[in-house]
């Protein structure tokens, strides 16, 4: 179990589950019969978490700290865009 974390593969598994969830959200219909979610909505909902998970993966595998900082920093604008888009609706 320790190797799963030190290799960063635990993050890979989480990203796979998130990709499956995103695909499910894009293909499902609501109970009211409305169309599925737009790809931009799903992307903006998932991208901040994906960036943070990538930062975690770099940190777990003893990657260079600037990559961790870059991934964490990249999550913030995606988060702000998601909030702005949700507020506009």
DSSP assigned state of 8: S
- Report the C-alpha gap between 59 and 70 in whole angstroms: 12
Please report, in tens digits, the pLDDT of each residue of the chain (89 residues total).
Answer: 889 899 999 999 999 999 999 998 888 766 666 666 789 999 999 999 999 999 999 999 999 999 999 999 999 999 999 999 999 87
């Amino acid at each position: 179990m320790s190797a799963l974390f030190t290799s960063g593969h635990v993050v890979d598994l989480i990203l796979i589950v998130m990709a499956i969830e995103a695909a499910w959200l894009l293909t499902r219909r609501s109970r009211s019969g409305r169309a599925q979610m737009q790809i931009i909505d799903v992307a903006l909902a998932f991208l901040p978490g994906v960036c943070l998970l990538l930062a975690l993966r770099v940190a777990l595998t003893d990657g260079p700290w600037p990559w961790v900082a870059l991934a964490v920093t990249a999550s913030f604008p995606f988060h702000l865009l998601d909030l702005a888009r949700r507020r506009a609706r």
